Structure 1
Amino acid sequence: MASTASPSPRQRRKAGAITDVAGIAVGHFTDSRRPTGCSVIIARDGAVAGVDVRGAAPGTRETDLLDPTHLVDKVHAVLLAGGSAWGLDAATGVVRWLEEQGVGFDVGVARLPLVPGAVLFDLMVGDASIRPDAAAGYAACEAAATRTPAEGNVGAGAGACVGKIFGMNRAMKAGIGTASVTVGGVTVGALIAVNALGDVVDPETAQVVAGARTRNGKALLDSRRALLRGEAPIPVLAGTNTTIGVVATDATLTKAQATRLAVMAHDGLARSINPVHTMSDGDTLFALGTGRAGQAVGMMTLGTMAAEATAMAVVRAARAATALTLGKLRLPAAADL
C-alpha cells in the first residue's frame, strides 16, 4: 500500500532567488561601522511596477508614481534600506549610478532613472548616527549581479531583528532572504528584509522560527499565544520595525496587475509573520514585471506564486541570520535556539 505521509518541507520546495527572474540584478551594501545597509533590485531595461503599503508607519519614496492611473508604467530599480527615513537618501546614489549607465525614462533632454524605495527602522542596533546614504546606494549598484544574492545580515537586513513585542532584550536577529517559484515557464521571485515587530513562522510547520524569547532568553515565546493569554506588550514607537521587499516576475504584466501582485504578495507576509501589519510596522512590498518570459499566466496562479515566494523568503531571512552582540544588546539567531 502506498504511503500517505506528506513530503518534508525540504522535499517539497527549493528556495531559489529573485535573480532567477530574467532581467533582475541585486546588489547589497553593508556598512561595516555598524549593522545597517541597503539593497538594490535593478531592472536595467525597465519593469512594470506596482506597490502595496500595509503597515501603519511606512517610510517610502515615489510610491505614488506606481498608482495604475498615473503616467509612468516602468521603473528601473527599487531601493530597500535601513536607517529609517534617513536611509531614503541612498536612492540618490542609485539614481546617479543608473544615469551614468544611460538607464532611465527618456524626457527629451536626459534619461531620468525612476527608483521607488522603502526603509526599515534599525536605529536601535548600534550607532544611530550611521545610516545608508547616497554613497551606500551607489555602492550597492556597483555590487549588483544576476547571481544568487547573499542572505542574512547583509544589505537592508544587516540591522534587522524580530520579536520586539516584549522588548528589545528579548528580540532576535533576522535579516534579508530570497526565494523563487516557477510554474509553466514563468518565475516569481522575492527579496524580503525582515525587521518585524512580530515573530517569523514557518508556514510549512506552523512553528516559530525566530521572534520574542522567554524571560530567561533561552527559548522562543510565541508572541501570538502570549498576547492571547493576556501578556502585555512593551509599548514601542510607531515605525520602529517594518518588513520591506520586492516580488519580481518575468511574466507580462499591466501596471494594474503589478499592483495586484504586490497586494497578493502580502498574503505571504501574513503566513510567515505574526502579528504583521501592525501600527508599529511600515510593511511595504513592491512588484516588478520584466516581461522576459514573453507570456502571462492567470493572476490567480501568479498571485499564489508571489505569496509563496514571499513567505519562503521571510523564513530564509530568519534562518540565514547570525547572532549579534553590541554591548549589552544580545540578539541570538534562529540557529542559536
Structure 2
Amino acid sequence: MSSSICDVAGIEVGHATDGRRPTGCTVVLARAGAVGAVDVRGAAPGTRETDLLAPHNVVERVHAVLLSGGSAFGLDAAGGVMRWLDERGIGLEVGPARVPIVPGAVLFDLPLGDARIRPDAAAGYAACEAASRQAPAEGNVGAGAGAAVGKIFGFARAMKGGIGSASVCVDGVTVGAIVACNALGDVVDPATGRVIAGARTPDGRALLDAHAALLRGEEARPMLAGSNTTIGVIATDAALTKVQAGRLATQGHDGLARTIRPVHTLSDGDALFALATGASGRTLGMMTLGAMAAEACALAVLRAVRAARAVTLPGVHLPAAGDLA
C-alpha cells in the first residue's frame, strides 16, 4: 500500500480532470479546519489568499487548498470549492454566515491542447465531490494533468510532469505531501543523482541534464515567466502554531531543491502550503517535522514524474520518464 497525504488524519483529496485537453485541478480538504501557512519561492506565482496565511494576520485555520492548472484562469476553481464547503456549513463563523477559507495556487499548462479550456468553478466543485481518504491517483490527473518538466531549453524538448503524493511517519506523527510538478528544470533522483525526467537532447532521444548544460555555457531558452511552477500541500496531524506551520512549508522546499534542478527560478511560481490538523493530539520537534516535510515533498515529486504517462497532441509530444528510462 502506497503512502500519501491522506495518511494524515483529517485530510481528504479529490481530483477533477478535463478530458477535452490535459488540464484539471486538485483539492485538499480539511473539513474540520487546519492551521494553515504558505511559502512561495518562485518568482512568478499565481496564488489566492496567501496574504491571509502570513503569521502576522489573524485567520489561522483553513478548510481546503486548491491546486489547479489553467494559469491564472484556474483560480476560478476556488469558487466551486467554496460553494461545496458552504453547502455543508463549513467555514469561518463571521456572524450571519460561515466563510470557507480556501487558499490556492495555479500552474501554467496552457501549451497543451486548447488553451481556452481550463479549470473553472464547476471543476473545483467536482474535485470536492470526488474527495476521499483513499490514496489519490497520481500522474496525469488533477492539477498534474497538463504538467510538463524540463522546459529550460524549449517546450519541444520537455517531458511529461504530473502529480504525486507521499507520507512519512515518525513516532506516531505523520507528515504527508502532494505535489504537482510542472517545473522548468529537470527532476533528479537524490539517491543516485541521476536525472529521471527533464530537458532532452536536441534529437529528443535522451536526457540532457540541464544543470550540467547550463554550467557548460549552453544558453537557456525558457518560456515566458510564470509558464512553469511546482505547487503542493504539506499536511501533518501534529499540533502546530501558525508560525510553526509556516516553517514546515519553508522546509518542504528543501525537498523540491533535492529533486528539481534548477528550482525557484524567474520562470517558476513554486509554492507550498502547509496544513496542521492536530488530529494526533501531539507533536514532534520542528527539526524532525521539517526533515519529514522535506522527505515527503521529495518523494512526492519523484512519484509525480514516475506515474506520468506520455502525451501526444498536434505539434507536440511529451514522453514520460518511463519512455526514456
Quick check: 1:266 aligned with 2:249?
A: no
2:177 paired residue number = 190
The CA distance in 2 between the partners of 1:259 and 1:165, in whole Å, is 30
Q: Is the 8 A contact 1:271 1:311 kept in 2?
A: yes
Q: 2:204 aligns with which of 204, 212, 217?
A: 217
The CA distance in 1 between the partners of 2:222 and 2:259, in whole Å, is 23
The CA distance in 2 between the partners of 1:297 and 1:235, in whole Å, is 41
User: What letter corresponds to residue 331 of structure 1 in structure 2?
Assistant: L
Q: 1:171 aligns with which of 158, 165, 179?
A: 158
1:72 paired residue number = 59
Please state how far the C-alpha of 1:235 moved relative to its aligned partner: 3.9
2:279 paired residue number = 292
1:9 paired residue number = none
The CA distance in 2 between the partners of 1:93 and 1:18, in whole Å, is 22
What's the C-alpha RMSD, in Å, of the aligned pairs?
0.7
2:300 paired residue number = 313
Q: Write the deviation string for residues 133-163 of structure 1: whole angstroms up to 9, x where unpaired.
A: 0000000000000000000000000000000
Change (3 A) 1:304 1:15: farther
In structure 1, runs of 5+ residues without a counterpart are 1-13
The CA distance in 2 between the partners of 1:307 and 1:77, in whole Å, is 21
User: What letter corresponds to residue 152 of structure 2 in structure 1?
Assistant: I
Please state how far the C-alpha of 1:15 moved relative to its aligned partner: 5.2
**Alignment partner of 1:77: what SS?**
strand
2:146 paired residue number = 159
Corresponding pairs, count: 324
**Alignment partner of 2:57: what SS?**
coil
The CA distance in 2 between the partners of 1:271 and 1:260, in whole Å, is 18
2:312 paired residue number = 325
The CA distance in 2 between the partners of 1:300 and 1:238, in whole Å, is 34
Q: Is the 8 A contact 2:184 2:222 kept in 1?
A: no
Q: Is the 8 A contact 2:2 2:135 kept in 1?
A: no
The CA distance in 2 between the partners of 1:143 and 1:235, in whole Å, is 35
TM-score norm. by structure 2 comes to 0.99
Quick check: 1:54 aligned with 2:41?
A: yes
**Alignment partner of 1:45: what SS?**
strand
Indicate the percent of aligned positions where both proteins have the same amino acid: 71
Please state how far the C-alpha of 1:129 moved relative to its aligned partner: 0.4
In structure 2, runs of 5+ residues without a counterpart are none
Q: Is the 8 A contact 1:15 1:178 kept in 2?
A: no
Q: Is the 8 A contact 1:15 1:312 kept in 2?
A: no
Quick check: 1:246 aligned with 2:233?
A: yes
Q: Is the 8 A contact 1:200 1:315 kept in 2?
A: yes
TM-score norm. by structure 1 comes to 0.95
Please state how far the C-alpha of 1:121 moved relative to its aligned partner: 0.3
**Alignment partner of 1:189: what SS?**
strand
Q: Which runs of 4+ in 1 moved over 3 A?
A: none
User: What letter corresponds to residue 190 of structure 2 in structure 1?
Assistant: P
Quick check: 1:123 aligned with 2:110?
A: yes
Please state how far the C-alpha of 1:119 moved relative to its aligned partner: 0.1
Quick check: 1:16 aligned with 2:7?
A: no
